[in-house]
Homo-oligomer: A and B are copies of this chain.
Amino acid sequence: MTAALAGLEPPKDMTPRQCTDELGALLAPYAREVEADLVLWMVEPDTPPELAEAMEYCVLGGGKRLRPALVLLSAEAVGTPAHDELTRRAAVAVELVHCYSLVHDDLPAMDNDTLRRGRPTAHVKFSEAMAILVGDALLSRAFGVLTECSDHKSNLLAAELARAAGPAGMIAGQAADMGLCRIPDGLEGLVFTNTRKTAALIRSAARMGAICAQANEPQLSAISEYAHSLGLAFQLADDLLDVVGSADKLGKTPGKDAQAGKRTYVEQVGLDQARCVAQELTDQAVEALQPFGPAGEKLTELAGLLTERNR
């Protein structure tokens, strides 16, 4: 890591709360932009109002908007500070895919979660049938939003998104997480799952932004490497939060991943080693950004804050 880039990391004595605030401040303008575009594009004319309401409940209920921010930040890093229509559509599409995956993952037959961002999950609020249909609607609509744009690059982006979201990407990760497909033992299996379940869409988001900004091959591969490491670090940070978050509150049951018997980094290698790996992944992510020089500053800051928030 260069000294200049290292200087952008948050100081190590920042509290998790301060990190979360900094992260929020970094993402906020991008979140505001994508939320306006979600309102603009998510619901097609002629969508039955009951379905539109359920879609809005599942998409407009908060969230960091990390993935769409990555689309926009990557386009900026490559050198396109203004967000053109295709870039904005890509940001919306990737968020719709993320939201669909949450709705379906929460279903009783899947992770059976009843709360999401402090509110009842879709199948609790509406019905299981509606939650299945809303997920399907958001996934279809993601590809609609992307390809309704006459920009000739929209099919490249749709292919990129389909690969990340599809059966060799996010769906493989969820199948592995649910024990529906065999994965290697131990850490290797965990990396298999996290690469697909979390990192694939994050990597795809960053690549879509770079493609929109006409990235050349070395830039695209640098962005891909960055976002792959970032995605793994992000999942690991979430695992840590699941453990540390509950350890902070004595008397409470441990995190739900442990409860569900899911394989996590912390359970595999212990808390300290998991923190080391998270830091290594963050360093790798930042390292990959070197070719961008100062244009990669915000992406560097993002990587630091995502890992630090769970210390």
- Assembly of this chain: how many copies? 2
Counting chain A residues whose Cβ lies within 8 A of the other chain, the interface size class is: 35 or more
Q: Is A261 an interface residue (CB 8 A)?
A: no
Q: Decide: B133 and A135 in contact? CB cutoff 8 A.
A: no
Q: Is A216 an interface residue (CB 8 A)?
A: no
Query: A104: which B residues are within 8 A, CB to CB?
Result: 132-133, 136
Q: Decide: B167 and A47 in contact? CB cutoff 8 A.
A: yes
A181, chain B: closest CB distance, angstroms: 4
Task: Please give me the residue from chain B that is nearest to A152 by CB atom.
Answer: B152
Binary contact readout A139-172 vs B (1 if CB under 8 angstroms, 0 otherwise): 1110110111110101110110111011110011
Q: Decide: A133 and B180 in contact? CB cutoff 8 A.
A: yes
**Which of B55, B159, B181 interacts with A147 by CB under 8 Å?**
B159
A-B contact pairs, 9 of them (CB 8 A): A48-B182, A52-B167, A136-B139, A137-B167, A140-B165, A140-B166, A147-B156, A147-B159, A149-B155
Q: Is A15 an interface residue (CB 8 A)?
A: no
Task: Please give me the residue from chain B that is nearest to A174 by CB atom.
Answer: B133
8 A Cβ contacts from A171-206 to B: 171-172, 174-176, 178, 180-182
Q: Is A130 an interface residue (CB 8 A)?
A: yes
Q: Is A280 an interface residue (CB 8 A)?
A: no
**Which of B48, B110, B182 interacts with A181 by CB under 8 Å?**
B48
Task: Please give me the residue from chain B that is nearest to A42 by CB atom.
Answer: B167
Q: Is A272 an interface residue (CB 8 A)?
A: no
A171, chain B: closest CB distance, angstroms: 5
Bound form: Cα–Cα A180–B128 in Å: 11
Bound form: Cα–Cα A51–B168 in Å: 9
Q: Decide: A159 and B166 in contact? CB cutoff 8 A.
A: no
Q: Is A129 an interface residue (CB 8 A)?
A: yes
Q: Which of A47, A140, A158 has the most CB of B within 10 A?
A: A140
Q: Decide: B166 and A144 in contact? CB cutoff 8 A.
A: yes
Bound form: Cα–Cα A109–B129 in Å: 5
